[in-house]
């Protein structure tokens, strides 16, 4: 997994925008190399317009560690 991407704007190779053919939905991710064996990964899924209020986003955050 190569470092790069952004959770605030769509970046080729690190986003699906539009997602599943729907211009209202998007997925974005960012990968940051913290050191030689650990990566910090954030994933944002969002909807641009909502029937029940303002646009919404959900952010998931995790780490990938290579213990070898």
pTM: 0.83
Which helix (H) or strand (E) segment holds residue 67: the answer is none
Range of the domain at 10: 4-65
pLDDT at 48: 93
pLDDT tens sequence across 23-68: 999 999 999 999 888 999 999 999 999 888 899 999 999 999 987 7
pLDDT at 58: 96
CA-based angle 38:15:25, to the nearest 5? 130
For the chain, the domain total comes to: 1
Averaged pLDDT for residues 15-24: 94
Q: What is the C-alpha separation between 40 and 62, in angstroms, rounded?
A: 6
Alpha carbon of residue 56 to chain centroid: 14
């Amino acid at each position: 997994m190569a470092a790069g991407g952004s959770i605030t704007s769509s970046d080729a190779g690190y986003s699906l925008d539009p997602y599943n053919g729907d211009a209202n939905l998007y997925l974005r991710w960012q990968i940051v190399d913290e050191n030689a064996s650990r990566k910090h990964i954030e994933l944002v899924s969002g909807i641009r317009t909502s029937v029940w209020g303002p646009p919404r986003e959900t952010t998931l955050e995790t780490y990938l560690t290579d213990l070898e």
